[in-house]
């Protein structure tokens, strides 16, 4: 296959890749299916898959949705020499930063954790990365925290992020009592989130002497319909940097790293609250969470709830036996209950 790499740019060809995903249209799926059926793959049945084939060093699965998943130690070779030239007819793997140089831009990533959890604080984190940091994180496992099921793995990655030379971080935890005060004043989770994101960006920019080179933008997930919600909350230094808000921002490694730090802070503080009050405080907002809240209130009294929980959640009204506000006037962020 012909590689169009600009002069002076090198591409790492030795990075170990054991899994890869791509999206194909109907024509590309047909080409890939012919390859799998004609080149010695052992066919297998996979739920929701159009076809799937296995070889000793890799397997290929194409789902009805058009998503293709390649796994195994032979993934890189298959992607570079079969999938890209014969099916997709474009070169991407190993050339991401050549095709999209912005992936190496120095930038800030911001994300939060605890927004959808009844118990525990809301934690917002920010991370500065540059090209050297991104290079160090290749094959590190740093990705969106929602795809990491283990709290122990979150802790390992959080330590790795903090110890990376050139990386600058800031974490802003908003404890339950402060969170509840802010919500009583604003009546909006998005207002609290906007303040948290703005505070983290400002904290990072206060450390700009450690950033080489200075960040060209800050990236965060778009949690509010109005993108000006965060822009209006920005503080003095934060107003001097471009703010980019987009859905699924965790696909950017800077935001993914921030999501890990925020989740680690949330989990650490939730465990500390459990130890302080001697009660189990489950994550999320489920029937198990409601039962745990009832047990806590029965043992410690209703006055303990605002110290460990977000009181605007419907869970608190049910636990305390209060009438729930009508849905039409219920003001809260996404995924609260």
CATH number at residue 23: 3.30.310.10
Chain-centre distance for alpha carbon 248: 8
Q: Two tokens at 187? A: 């009546």
- Classify residue 328 by burial, with Cβ atoms within 10 Å: 0-12, 13-18, 19+: exposed
Q: Is residue 290 situated within a structural domain?
A: no
- For residue 163, the tally of other CB atoms under 10 A from its CB is 8
On whether both 77 and 214 belong to a single domain, the answer is: no
On whether both 115 and 235 belong to a single domain, the answer is: yes
Structure confidence at residue 146 (pLDDT): 87
CA atoms within 13 A on the CB side of 45: 1
pTM above 0.85, yes or no: no
Q: Is residue 231 situated within a structural domain?
A: yes
Strand partners, 69: 21, 61
On whether both 132 and 258 belong to a single domain, the answer is: yes
Dist CA 23 CA 305 (whole Å): 47
Total tally of structural domains belonging to the chain: 2
On whether both 243 and 117 belong to a single domain, the answer is: yes
Q: Is residue 328 situated within a structural domain?
A: no
Dist CA 35 CA 28 (whole Å): 11
Q: Which of 212, 245, 270 is the last residue of a domain?
A: 270
On whether both 136 and 266 belong to a single domain, the answer is: yes
Q: Which strands sit side by side in the sheet containing 49-55, from one edge to the other?
A: 19-23, 67-71, 58-63, 49-55, 42-43
Strand partners, 170: 126
Dist CA 215 CA 163 (whole Å): 19
Could you list the residue range(s) of the whole structural domain that residue 189 is in? 102-270
On whether both 138 and 198 belong to a single domain, the answer is: yes
Q: Which has the closest alpha carbon to 219: 195, 192, 232, 200?
A: 200
On whether both 70 and 117 belong to a single domain, the answer is: no
Q: Is residue 85 situated within a structural domain?
A: yes
Helix (H, G, I), strand (E, B) or coil at 173: strand
Q: Which of 94, 126, 159 is the last residue of a domain?
A: 94
Please provide the DSSP assignment of 258-320 as one string.
Answer: HHHHHHHHHHHHHHHHHHHHTS---SSSSHHHHHHHHHHHHHH-GGGHHHHB-TTSHHHHHHT
Residue 210's CATH number: 3.30.420.10
On whether both 256 and 115 belong to a single domain, the answer is: yes
On whether both 216 and 176 belong to a single domain, the answer is: yes
Q: Is residue 34 situated within a structural domain?
A: yes
On whether both 152 and 202 belong to a single domain, the answer is: yes
Dist CA 47 CA 67 (whole Å): 13
Q: Is residue 53 situated within a structural domain?
A: yes
On whether both 113 and 256 belong to a single domain, the answer is: yes
On whether both 157 and 244 belong to a single domain, the answer is: yes
Q: Which of 221, 240, 270 is the last residue of a domain?
A: 270
CA atoms within 13 A on the CB side of 262: 32
- Classify residue 324 by burial, with Cβ atoms within 10 Å: 0-12, 13-18, 19+: exposed
Dist CA 92 CA 101 (whole Å): 13
Structure confidence at residue 172 (pLDDT): 98
pLDDT by position in tens, the chain (length 337): 333 333 333 333 444 678 888 899 999 999 999 999 999 999 999 999 999 999 999 999 999 999 999 999 999 889 888 998 889 876 555 544 544 557 788 999 999 999 999 999 999 999 999 999 998 987 788 888 988 889 999 999 999 999 999 999 999 999 999 999 999 999 999 999 999 999 999 999 999 999 999 999 999 988 888 878 999 999 999 999 999 998 888 888 999 999 999 999 999 999 999 999 999 999 999 999 999 999 999 999 999 999 999 999 999 999 999 998 887 544 444 444 4
């Amino acid at each position: 296959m012909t590689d169009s790499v600009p002069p002076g740019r090198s591409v790492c060809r030795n990075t170990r890749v054991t899994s890869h995903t791509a999206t194909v249209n109907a024509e590309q799926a047909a080409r890939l299916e012919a390859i799998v059926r004609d080149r010695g793959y052992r066919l297998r049945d996979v739920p929701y898959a159009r076809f799937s084939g296995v070889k000793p060093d890799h397997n290929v699965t194409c789902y009805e949705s058009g998503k293709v998943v390649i796994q195994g130690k032979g993934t890189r070779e298959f992607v570079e020499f079969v999938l890209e030239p014969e099916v997709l007819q474009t070169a991407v793997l190993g050339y991401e930063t050549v095709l999209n140089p912005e992936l190496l831009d120095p930038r800030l990533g911001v994300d939060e954790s605890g927004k959808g959890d009844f118990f525990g604080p809301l934690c917002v984190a920010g991370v500065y990365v540059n090209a050297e940091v991104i290079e160090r994180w290749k094959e590190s496992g740093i990705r969106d925290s929602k795809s990491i099921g283990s709290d122990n793995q979150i802790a390992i990655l959080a330590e790795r992020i903090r110890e990376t030379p050139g990386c600058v971080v800031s974490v802003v935890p908003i404890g339950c009592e402060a969170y509840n005060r802010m919500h009583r004043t604003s009546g909006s989770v998005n207002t609290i989130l906007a303040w948290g994101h703005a505070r983290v960006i400002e904290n990072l920019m206060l450390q700009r002497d450690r950033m080489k080179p200075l960040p060209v933008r800050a990236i965060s997930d778009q949690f509010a319909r109005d993108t000006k919600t965060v822009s209006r909350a920005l503080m003095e230094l934060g107003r001097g940097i471009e703010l980019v808000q987009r859905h699924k921002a965790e696909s950017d490694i800077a935001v993914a790293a921030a999501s890990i730090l925020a989740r680690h802070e949330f989990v650490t503080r939730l465990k500390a609250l459990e130890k302080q009050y001697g009660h189990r405080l489950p994550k999320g907002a489920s029937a198990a969470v409601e039962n745990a809240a009832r047990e806590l209130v029965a043992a410690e009294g209703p006055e303990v709830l605002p110290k460990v929980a977000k009181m605007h959640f419907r869970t608190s009204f049910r636990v305390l036996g209060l009438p729930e506000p009508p849905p039409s006037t219920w003001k809260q962020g996404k995924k609260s209950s």
